[in-house]
A and B are shown apart, each in its own frame.
Chain A
Amino acid sequence: MKLKKRWGLAVTLAVMVSIVTACGGNGGSNGNNSNNTANATNKPAETAAAQETASGSGDGDKKITLGFSQVGAESGWRTANTKSIQESAKEAGFDLKFSDAQQKQENQIKAIRSFIQQKVDVIAFSPVVESGWDTVLKEAKDAGIPVILTDRAVDSADTSLYKTFIGSDFIEEGKKAGQWLVDQYKDTQEDVNIVELQGTTGSAPANDRKAGFQDTIASNPKLKIIASQTGDFTRAKGKEVMQAFLKAHKDIDVLYAHNDDMALGAIQAIEAAGLVPGKDIIIISVDAVKDGMQAAADGKINFIVECNPLLGPQLMEAAQAVVDGKEIETRIVTNETTFTSEQAKEALPSRQY
């Protein structure tokens, strides 16, 4: 018995030690990394300064340093977003200082402060949360460094704290989805029954995609939303809810899903009911992630509105304009397109995410 107890203790100790060392190891490597980047990034700044003194007014040659603080890496969408920014920075010849906040605001504030200390030319970030940015943004303003928001907004009352906000317009996405439907059914004599799979209740994309869609289809009284329920943006919920919709309503003509995953779940439910997705029930979805595009190319989704994570090029453009001292729009909407089945088939091979 005693021996057993010791054994248990030894095992727990061993586990704890390994956890601690693992953490230590990580911490060490992180530290190294940040040192490396700091060293690496310091150098170009020095050389740039040297160049400036050498050539006097060599503003055109000066490499722009962009500090970017990302939310984290929680989804495929976010990963594509990060990649786009890194690649377009390289293309534009910017010096990118990238920092991952791992979903924590304090990490982001720390990153922004270090950007200010390093005297970068432009700071860009996707805020983890909406509030609590005034102080650090003011510090940036006082240091004379322009700030650009990407993908998510801040609720700060003082809009002079940032130059612009680059991101998707969810209402516009809903409108695009609605417009396509209105165009498809413009000569219809019969009622068109629509069911809607909403995103997570209360989230901005769910609210806005719903509102935009509703406003647009209101132009045709034949288009009717007969059922609307949340599918939490997930495939499993989308399937479950759609299955219930199919039982409760015998005459569904159109499905509008707030994201591809719910549409993919619903497609399985429709197939299980012995119907053909895309034919018996027209499907409209938002996002255009890889699986969704594949379904569209297979004709199972009729229309996808893109929610584009690839805002890197637009960010670089805006950063360049800000550094050049040009006035820019305070709200830049991401370039977003839409895909029908045929367009999806063409676009699929070159999709990055």
Chain B
Amino acid sequence: MGGKMHRHHLFWPLVVLGALLLFNLIYSPDFFSLAVRGGNLYGSLIDILNFGAPLILVSIGMTIVIATGGIDLSVGSIVAISGAMACLTISKGTDPSSVLLVIGAVLASIALSIVLGMWNGALVTVTRIQPIIATLILMVAGRGIAQLITSGQIITVSNSNYEYIGAGSLASLPFSIFIVAAVLLIASLLTRRTAIGLFIESVGSNPEASRLAGLRSRTVILTVYVFCGLCAGIAGLILSSNVSSADGNNAGLWYELDAILAVVIGGTSLNGGRFYLMGTVIGALIIQTLTTTIYMIGVPPEITLVVKAFVVLAVCLIQSEAFRKTLITRWKKRNYPAEQEVTRHA
């Protein structure tokens, strides 16, 4: 039973998340307190879910891309572009509080992110550029596009309907959680209840063999990049609506790296071929919990990144089977000289 459990792919990520939460419980018991303020649940756990929502979304998209053996570095830029597009549309509207305007802005942003995803997919499938380079193009250019859209300024909007996406609540929980849940549900159903998941893993293992077996590898790859762009676009909407403004320079900065980290912590191999959506979600939650913990316990900003690096290193080492084995053999051999002595004297 125990052996089975610890071989489950979610075991180690869950252990790490549990350890982080346990640390917080000991350090500040308030961490788990939930209060109701203004009809909404209020507490650190809610914060983690709310601020973690965009990262989880981006990471879900990233997982699927990585499963095909690719990678998408442009997600951070798409986050910025999508937020900028939505805020620009709303600020240009005649009636800045109308619902229709918000729907239009959201649709425009989502359409734009799908196009950007297609661009990535086309570069990878049609021109056969390596994914890391193909998406690097949009990663760099995308910041420029976002700044073009915002003309280098921070666009502030005041529209309660738009604010609802990232800062509103439904059934006393942040609305963004429901968006994440919906996307996660759709992604899981599509990949685990239909053949699409199998296609993706097959393309990730060997695109050429999959093609010869009758799979349209290109279509599959194009689709995953579009999906990843879509996820990043929605994340951009949540992020910008949470602060009611679009910042082309900083929105979603380094998100691609956090997302890749979340995917790796979740147990998905960067080589492609297999993926774990729930693992990724837990990975993203670990990252967000770590960030919140660092803010709560008051680590000086100069060493924040070092602390983060150590925790991430520890997480990766724990996850590594080879490292665990070495550790266990060392542990077993620790009494060896002494035992030898005992046997000799006996």
Q: A-side interface residues toward B, CB under 8 Å?
A: 8, 11-12, 73-76, 79, 198, 201-202, 227-230, 232-237, 239-241, 243-245, 247-248, 261, 264-265, 268, 272-274, 291
Contact = CB atoms under 8 A, between A and B. Distances in A.
B30 A274 contact: no
B127 A8 contact: yes
Contacts of A79: 152-153
B42 A273 contact: yes
Nearest to A234: B250
A273 B37 contact: yes
Interface in B232-269: 239, 242-245, 247, 249-251
B156 interface: yes
Given A236-B239, A247-B30, A229 B47 contact: no
A248 B51 contact: no
Contacts of B127: 8, 12
B247 A272 contact: no
23 contacts: A8-B122, A74-B249, A75-B152, A75-B249, A201-B302, A234-B247, A234-B250, A236-B251, A237-B250, A239-B243, A240-B51, A243-B47, A244-B292, A247-B30, A248-B296, A264-B243, A268-B244, A272-B167, A273-B37, A273-B42, A274-B37, A274-B38, A291-B156
> Which 9 pairs between the two chains have the least Cβ-Cβ distance?
A244-B295, A230-B301, A8-B126, A248-B296, A274-B37, A234-B250, A235-B243, A76-B153, A247-B44
Interface of B: 28, 30-31, 37-38, 42-44, 47, 51, 122, 126-127, 152-154, 156, 167, 239, 242-245, 247, 249-251, 291-292, 295-302, 304
Nearest to A196: B301
B167 A201 contact: no
Contacts of B242: 236, 239
A224 to B, nearest CB: 13
Nearest to B291: A240
Given A12-B126, A236-B239, A76 B300 contact: no
Contact of B295 (A73, A74, A240): A240
Contact of A244 (B47, B152, B250): B47
Nearest to B153: A76
A237 B302 CA distance: 16
